[in-house]
Amino acid sequence: MDSSSQLIPFDTSKPALWFLLALITFNPTAWNIIARNEYRNHTLTRLFGGNPRLACYFLASMIFSFGMLRDCLYRYALLQQPYGLLLPQPWNTLVGFALIVSGQVLAMSAYYQLGVTGTSMGDYFGLLKDSRVEGFPFSVLRDPMYVGSTISFVGGAFWGERPVGLFVSTWIWIVYYVALRFEGPFTDMIYLRRGEVKTQGIVDLTGSERGTAIDNDGLAPEAKRKEI
């Protein structure tokens, strides 16, 4: 369907749009699969000589690279789509700017709180923090990076004056929402097990920040040796 159709405000004949939707779906799905495999089998840790921190940095580089590719493809795909103001000017530009800034504040402040390993699923590598982060933006949102990213894409639709951006942003949030249904409970389980281990006094897992991996049952190898 071309851009002259009044049924939808975008051109479905452009391949870049479909590549973008596929990449949006691929990214969080792939990272969750890789991270869960790492928690159970330590595949990346073994590939990097038993160093979970180095393995996590590798995953972080992949997440960053594919995220940049998605952002570039978003801008490219929108430029191929029909132009259209979502609000009368100057409100269209002002709203777009405000949304982009708000989204980036949420995303970057979350990154500041979590660091590289925290934002790159370091929990699955056994790189846990002493406690769950509760400062801003986590004091107002449970998943500020996903929310901030979505808000930024919505802002991009206003700023770039492309209605299709709202459709893409909606798809982004659907994908994030599904990913969070798996990622959130699994992360909670990891911290719950770590809390149980610390309560039992089996091992001080704060050492996991120095690279201690946690096996499938939630115990570090040192803890297992002490139990034997």
CA 61-192-225 angle, to 5 degrees, is: 85
103 is in an annotated binding site: yes
Query: Would you state the structure tokens that stand for residue 103, as one six-digit string?
Result: 């989204």
184 is in an annotated binding site: yes
211 is in an annotated binding site: no
50 is in an annotated binding site: no
- In a 13 Å sphere around the CA of 156, the CA atoms on its Cβ side amount to 23
Q: Note whether 195 and 204 are within 8 A (CB).
A: no
101 is in an annotated binding site: yes
Residue 17 CA: distances (Å) to CA of 13, 41, 82, 165, 170:
8, 36, 12, 10, 14
Q: Note whether 107 and 152 are within 8 A (CB).
A: yes
Q: Mark the binding-site residues, compressed into ranges.
A: 101-103, 183-184
Q: Mark the binding-site residues for S-adenosyl-L-methionine, compressed into ranges.
A: 101-103, 183-184
